[in-house]
Chains A and B, each alone.
Chain A
Amino acid sequence: MTAIKAKHQRLILALIALAAILAAGALAAWALRSQASYFYLPADLKANPPEVGRAVRLGGMVKAGSVARAADGVTVQFVVDDGKAEVPVRFKGIVPDLFKEGSGVVAEGRLDAGGQFVADNLLAKHDEKYVPREMKDMTAARAAVRDTQ
């Protein structure tokens, strides 16, 4: 039997080790799938509701036409939607600049007994699309960018 060159032996060992590390990492990431998510989607929240009063985050799109300001001027009421389910949200405070109907939002807070989400804090989520302000017709520009994908 011909002996394997030391160099090749090391290469094989290193590749086996690398494959093992990658597999371990992939398994860990898989196990973390739900725990490492930063927020619940409305559908997750409906399917698997956390206890009333437990601090959670809810993320999704601000449903178009759902934002309503209360008479006190600082309370906002809106609906977070992920295309499958909707959750009504109430927030009292200053909303971030990027908070708009039809764009992403992450609300930190808790569900109340009535199924409404009471947020202590709102984070605006930016999407991956970048469109210059000068493009006048924004919807057309966004559609054009989407079509080039």
Chain B
Amino acid sequence: MHGFANPARFLRLARWLTPLLMLSGGILALGAMGWGVLRGPADSLQGDTVRILYLHVPTAWLGMGGWTALAIASLTELVWRHPLAAIAARAIAVPGAVFAAICLLTGSIWGRPAWGTWWVWDGRLTSMLVLLFLYLAYAALADAAQRDGAGGSRVPAIFGLVGAINIPIIHYSVLWWNSLHQPPSITMGKSAMAADFLVPLLVSTLGFSLLFGGIVLMRMRALLAEQQAEARLRRKAQAA
């Protein structure tokens, strides 16, 4: 990991990895969703609305996985002061928020025909909405801290760690409390979902994960470039 303390080495790797991840992820995700929508079976109870699964579930998992990665990056920033950790955390916040928002929107669209309501304040829906707000708050905080300059990555890192408490709450919300949202279909190698749904769901999840990784790398490159440009401007101003 410390090999990447040199951003130049990271950039060399990221340059070819970014398009590779985005392209392969996009193909897998679109392919799995397309198959699920056009060719896959309808559910015995939900009918065709089940097809939103291939977008809803991967974005939900990645919304949660994104914050887990953000918390790990925050810990790395606080303890080891790795030069890329703060940048990685900032790069995760925006796609994480977008994925959480897609999860909430698709869930709402599914909820209307399946449950008979767009929204309820049950444990799962509420904690997922809190995750979206945490992402937005993190992005705002990290940007503000960056603008203020020196030592600006410490406070967002603490926020990133504290916010991690929401991740187990989202996961266990449907088990601890009675909720309208169903409990998980897939738990530790067991599946209450027929293979016809499970296989495209897993392919779609893999695709969206690669895509998420590609977006994060792209954002990290942009943030690094921004830093370099600012440093150059500062040097120029001093020389003048």
Chain A interface (Cβ within 8 Å of chain B)? 7, 10-11, 14, 17-18, 21-22, 24-25, 29, 32-33, 36-41, 59, 96-98, 100, 103, 106, 121-135, 138, 141, 145-146, 148-149
Contact = CB atoms under 8 A, between A and B. Distances in A.
Interface in B139-180: 161-162, 164-165, 168-169, 172, 176-180
Contacts, number: 135
B182 A123 contact: no
Given A7-B80, A100-B45, A41 B178 contact: yes
A127 to B, nearest CB: 6
Contacts of B193: 128-130, 145
B115 interface: yes
Contact of A96 (B42, B116, B184): B116
Contacts of A21: 161-162, 164-165
Contact of B169 (A25, A96, A98): A25
Given A38-B177, A135-B194, A29 B172 contact: yes
A124 B180 CA distance: 8
A59 B181 CA distance: 12
A97 to B, nearest CB: 6
B218 interface: no
Residue picked from A103, A129, A138, A149, most chain B C-beta under 10 Å:
A129
B120 A38 contact: yes
A133 B42 contact: yes
Interface string B22-43: 0000000000000000000111
B6 interface: no
Nearest to B163: A21
A146 B78 contact: no
Given A17-B161, A59-B178, A129-B193, A123 B117 contact: yes
B194 A141 contact: yes
Contacts of B194: 130-132, 135, 141, 145
B116 A123 contact: yes
Contact of B192 (A11, A40, A128, A138): A128
B60 to A, nearest CB: 14
A149 B67 CA distance: 29
Contacts of B228: none
B27 to A, nearest CB: 25
Contact of A138 (B44, B75, B185): B44
A38 B122 contact: yes
Given A122-B116, A132-B41, A106 B79 contact: no
22 contacts: A7-B80, A10-B78, A14-B78, A32-B177, A33-B177, A36-B176, A36-B177, A37-B177, A39-B178, A40-B178, A59-B178, A96-B114, A106-B180, A123-B120, A124-B115, A125-B182, A127-B182, A129-B192, A130-B50, A133-B42, A133-B43, A145-B194
